[in-house]
Amino acid sequence: MKIYNTLTRTKQEFVPINERRVGIYVCGPTVYDYIHIGNARPMIVFDTLRRYLLYKGYEVNYVSNFTDVDDKIIKRAIEEGVTSKEISERYIEEVKKDMKALNVMEATMHPKATEEIPDMIEMIKVLIDKGHAYEVNGTVYFRTRSFPGYGKLSKKNIDELEAGHRDEKHALKVSGEDEKEDFLDFVLWKPKKEGEPSWPSPWGDGRPGWHLECSVMSKKYIGDIIDIHAGGEDLIFPHHENEIAQSEAANDVEFARYWMHNGFLRIDGEKMSKSLGNFFTIREIGEKYPLQVIRFFILSAHYRSPLNFSDSLVESAKASLDRILTAANKLEELLQTAPDKELTEQEKEVREGLNSFELKFDEAMEDDLNTADAISAIFELVKYTNSNITSDSSKQLVIAGYDLLKKLCDVLGIITAVKKEKLDSEIEALIEERQAARKAKNFARADEIRNQLAAEGIILEDTKEGVKWKKA
């Protein structure tokens, strides 16, 4: 498998540290509110990476954190008159509900920042002892220039970074607020403020800086070196750059072998923001579309490409997904009636032809997780099964077609099994009345009933096996 490594800006053959085991760390959300559609993209993309590696036979240790102490959480807690812990615990549960609705697998570990603070203090001590960090009035800073590789992920030049913030730096000095040795140094530990949660440390009560959390949690739950570190491209600088600096300075080994970053998501061509009124949570979107459609929509584009979210594009994704689900449903129904007989020579050729679609799917996924081309391979498979598997086909052939379609959809986290809801007695009676009307050649009444059911979201299909129905 080839992965585009942000660190080298090239596609590289993926070679895990351990032959059949892969450690993946994905930066998780700060839990102060419901997650939005932008949060969902990395969750879905890297869940699909995990599913593909499992499908290829790897054991995957997938770690994704919850940042449960942060200025935004504290602000929300003060507004509601509750503790920060109440806010974070509430929204951790809500995030998990949304992840489940998006068919995102539970991580191997979901560490919380507040439960790993002793290890964060230990890493800070190591950095101070090695001369990479220093304390001023209860704040501990990382000495950025002490790490020669700073900027290697973002390709930013350290001197240009400082020059770009000259005015801001001057303002801090004039106000007397700049206690750092160097403007570029970043916070590892911040002192307690009144009304904020805090923990004891050798530098006084306080709490860790955001960048430190992921360095410590990835080390604890994966190891000093991570196979794949992933997240949104907005995290490349400064978050991931700072993670590399503090981790490699403390551990004296490479922090992560491969860095994967998904592209930005825009709403109707614009950046998502509350002020523009285009800020959508997963809960809000779920009221309008099945979240399986949203998952499919996100995977319909390459993960590194910018993605534009609009009603028309989501409607198009819904129609495309319906084609796949209809094909899966058809095969599932054929399984109930397919004759259990030996494969004919022609059927053997058809079954053999199925292999080419799995090969195309794998080729797409092996090329930097190209889910867009993988979905194209699934559409080709759908067309093939629709043309070559019928009610006359043997059960063995139907099973082969259905199993392959389900397997490939499972890799993308797309659920193919159609859950049929029971019709209530009134609708059942209408369907029976329509059948009787057709038998009596009263087609006007039959059409009237069909239209009435359509208005209630029930679509009828007349087939040679009888009347089939599905939700619109």
Residue 16 sits at φ, ψ, to 5 deg, of: -70, 160
CATH topology of domain 291-411: Isoleucyl-tRNA Synthetase; Domain 1 (1.10.730)
The SS3 assignment for 143 reads coil
Low-confidence ranges of the chain (pLDDT < 70): 163-177, 418-424, 464-465, 471-472
Residue 189's φ and ψ, nearest 5 degrees, are -145, 130
Residue with tokens 């040795």: 181
**For position 419, what pLDDT does the model report?**
55
In tens, the pLDDT along 244-300 reads 999 999 999 999 999 999 999 999 999 887 778 888 999 999 999 999 999 999 999
Tell me the C-alpha distance between 48 and 105, whole Å.
9
DSSP 8-state symbol, 23: E
Structure tokens of 458? 């029930």
Locate the domains of the chain by residue range: 16-262, 291-411, 425-471
Look at residue 160 in the predicted model and tell me its pLDDT: 84
Chain centroid to Cα 37, Å, comes to 10
Say how far apart CA 91 and CA 77 lie, in whole Å: 12
Q: Which amino acid is at 136?
A: V
Nearest-angstrom CA–CA distance, 216 and 384: 50
Give the position of tokens 């979107």: 285
| pLDDT score of 167 | 55
Q: DSSP code of 259? A: E
Partners of residue 26 on adjacent β-strands:
64, 230
Fold of 16-262: Rossmann fold (3.40.50)
What are the beta bridge partners of residue 471? Answer: 458
Specify the pLDDT at position 418: 59
Q: Note the pLDDT of residue 239.
A: 97
Q: Which two tokens stand for residue 256?
A: 């992560």
With vertex at residue 434, the alpha carbon angle to CA 431 and CA 438, rounded to the nearest 5 degrees, is: 145
Separation of alpha carbons 64 and 450, rounded Å: 49
Q: Same CATH fold, 291-411 and 16-262?
A: no
User: For residues 298 and 38, is the Cβ–Cβ distance under 8 A?
Assistant: no
pTM of the model as a whole: 0.87
Distances in Å between the Cα of 465 and the Cα atoms of 26, 329, 399, 453 are 48, 14, 19, 20
pLDDT of residue 444: 83
**What distance in Å separates the CA atoms of residue 67 and residue 114, rounded to the nearest whole number?**
8
Tokens of residue 410, six digits: 């499972």
